[in-house]
Amino acid sequence: METPLTHNISPGKEPPDLAQYEKAGGYAALRKALSMSPAEVQAAVKESNLRGRGGAGFPTAQKWSFVPMGDDAPRPKYLVCNADEMEPGTFKDRMLLEGDPHQLIEGIIVSAYAIQADVAYVFLRWAYKLAARRMEESIAEAYRHGYLGKNILGSAYSLGMHLHVSAGRYMCGEETALLNALEGKRANPRTKPPYPQVSGLWGKPTIVNNVETLCNIPHIVKRGAEWFKSLSRSDDGGTKLYGVSGRVKNPGLWELPMGTSMREILEEHAGGMCDGYQFRGLLPGGASTDFVTAEHLDLAMDFDSMKKADSRLGTGTMIVLDDKTCPVGMLLNLEHFFAQESCGWCTPCWSGLSWIEQILQDMEEGRGRASDLEVLESHTRLLGPGHTFCALAPGAAEPLQSGLKYFRDDFERHIHEKRCPWSPT
């Protein structure tokens, strides 16, 4: 089984420097891309069926295709790498940033070439200090060796690259909010349309791609779409970084074929549940995905299969709920997070999420009422897609709506017993 994304990565060790990265075949994809036209690079990525790894799964080449090309296109154009990994339960991009920074840098340069971007920004979350240091050193190294700057490797193509280390807030992961943060503003989302591809950073054409998405690009260009599709067990090409956290024997992160089943990840890689703990459910791809339960575990972890369980692949990093953890308490933790991180820009989000949090808090403290379940259910609809500027509130509604469906008895026990059944007192 091939693992292109993590091939050079040895956790706990220093990442390959530029010379080692080149020796392992690095920057060959950039040389190849520069001999192709931007349209040919876009076509190769389109053919590969690469879908965005940030959570939404939008086809990468299709996203790129909306960028105006040619001599009349507005300039400068921007490519932004979204390295603001802040989805609770998600720890995948960190490995790529810390473990093989040149792979990401090459991915950004090749992608920037495909849309003829003039400047690239890496928007990195503040907590990843080690990644910040390594990215900074590696960008400088790439400049020194002619992979960045004017006339890259003697070609007509030029690109500047800068690292922006964020000052916090989950909202910055939303692509239009991220653009506001880069412009030095509050990270509120922007109305779409216009889409960033046409009017993004400082009103110029801009692409925002996730770290893992960009890391796939050099491999696709170098080895071709057919090879990339052959890595996958599903129609979506490539491998995927899958993670597991919670009460399992061996929590961790693994690069596996896209479409590996949840059961295989949970049982073979994460080692199954810890002794004394039973599986009750899991959030498959971070805090803002719907719960799935034991009946769904044989589904493939890919974008389309997860829809069969009314859930999403999201970031591919699962959070496991065990029988000794209160599902209502877990939802309170999740909704507290979303309420706190709401930017306050639109009313259904800031008002609705704090209302949800208060109801769940009351339930946990023995003040639940029979009518609460109906109020919570109405919120999952009112905060759903189409009622807010961005995906934060709809994301918050996902674990809640599925939690109400699968753990209804647990909610009712809280209300009838006027206490949390998991609470020691």
Partner 1 sequence: MLSEQERREIEAHARHYPNNRAVCIEALKIVQQHRGWVSNEGIADVAEALQMKPAELESVATFYNMIFRKPVGKHVILLCDSVSCWIMGYERLRQHLGDKLGIRPGQTTADGRFTLLPNVCLGACDHAPVMMVDDAYYQDLDPARVDEILASYQQEEEKSTDGNAADS
Considering the rule CB under 8 A, would residue 317 count as an interface residue with partner 1? yes
Tokens of 336: 């507290």
Considering the rule CB under 8 A, would residue 392 count as an interface residue with partner 1? no
Tokens of 261: 């089943």
Q: Smallest distance, Å, CB 261 to partner 1?
A: 20
Tokens of 238: 């490539």
Each residue 127-166 as x (binds partner 1 by CB under 8 A) or -, in order, gives xxx--------------------------------x-xxx
Q: Where are the alpha helices (DSSP H) in 74-126?
A: 93-99, 101-115
Distant-in-sequence, close-in-space partners of 202: CB < 8 Å, separation ≥ 6: 183
Q: Which stretch binds partner 1 (CB under 8 A): 65-73, 337-345, 360-368, 372-380?
A: 337-345
Considering the rule CB under 8 A, would residue 348 count as an interface residue with partner 1? no
| 156 exposure class (CB count in 10 Å sphere: 0-12, 13-18, 19+) | exposed
Give the chain's length. Answer: 425
Report d(CA 84, CA 404) in Å as an integer. Answer: 30
Q: For partner 1, which is the closer residue by CB, 247 or 312?
A: 247
Side by side, the strands of the sheet bearing 160-165 are: 160-165, 119-124, 78-83, 206-210
Considering the rule CB under 8 A, would residue 257 count as an interface residue with partner 1? no
Of the residues 153, 167, 294, 375, which one makes contact with partner 1 according to CB under 8 A: 167
CB atoms within 10 A of CB 421: 11
Q: For partner 1, which is the closer residue by CB, 50 or 83?
A: 83
Considering the rule CB under 8 A, would residue 91 count as an interface residue with partner 1? yes
Considering the rule CB under 8 A, would residue 330 count as an interface residue with partner 1? yes
Considering the rule CB under 8 A, would residue 333 count as an interface residue with partner 1? yes
Q: Tell which positions 264-293 bind partner 1, by CB under 8 A.
A: 283, 287
Of the residues 325, 351, 354, 361, which one makes contact with partner 1 according to CB under 8 A: 325
CB-CB contact of 29 with 108 (8 Å) = no
Q: For partner 1, which is the closer residue by CB, 86 or 220?
A: 86
- Compute the C-alpha angle 93/96/100, nearest 5°: 160
Q: Which stretch binds partner 1 (CB under 8 A): 63-71, 255-263, 339-347, 380-388?
A: 339-347
Among residues 379, 329, 378, which one has the least CA distance to residue 354?
379
Each residue 190-229 as x (binds partner 1 by CB under 8 A) or -, in order, gives ------------x---------------------------
Q: Tell which positions 98-127 bind partner 1, by CB under 8 A.
A: 121, 125-127
Q: Which stretch binds partner 1 (CB under 8 A): 34-42, 181-189, 212-220, 303-311?
A: 181-189
| 129 exposure class (CB count in 10 Å sphere: 0-12, 13-18, 19+) | exposed
Of the residues 181, 360, 392, 415, which one makes contact with partner 1 according to CB under 8 A: 181
Which residue, chain included where needed, has tokens 């693994």? 254
Of the residues 12, 184, 276, 386, which one makes contact with partner 1 according to CB under 8 A: 184
Q: Which stretch binds partner 1 (CB under 8 A): 47-55, 168-176, 359-367, 414-422?
A: 168-176
Phi/psi at 312 (5° precision): -140, 155
CB-CB contact of 38 with 69 (8 Å) = yes
Q: Where are the alpha helices (DSSP H) in 48-87?
A: 60-65
Report d(CA 224, CA 89) in Å as an integer. Answer: 32
Report d(CA 54, CA 48) in Å as an integer. Answer: 17
How far does CA 416 lie from the centroid of its chain?
39
Of the residues 80, 108, 135, 187, which one makes contact with partner 1 according to CB under 8 A: 187
Q: For partner 1, which is the closer residue by CB, 4 or 246?
A: 246
Q: For partner 1, which is the closer residue by CB, 150 or 185?
A: 185
Considering the rule CB under 8 A, would residue 232 count as an interface residue with partner 1? no
Q: Tell which positions 44-83 bind partner 1, by CB under 8 A.
A: none
Q: Which stretch binds partner 1 (CB under 8 A): 87-95, 141-149, 192-200, 233-241?
A: 87-95
Of the residues 251, 271, 272, 384, which one makes contact with partner 1 according to CB under 8 A: 251
CB-CB contact of 312 with 279 (8 Å) = no
Considering the rule CB under 8 A, would residue 173 count as an interface residue with partner 1? no
Among residues 158, 139, 141, which one has the least CA distance to residue 150?
158
Count of residues interacting with partner 1 (CB under 8 A): 54
Q: Which residues bind partner 1 (CB under 8 A)?
A: 85-91, 94, 121, 125-129, 162, 164-170, 181-187, 202, 243-247, 251-253, 283, 287, 317, 319-322, 325, 329-330, 333-334, 337, 340-341, 343
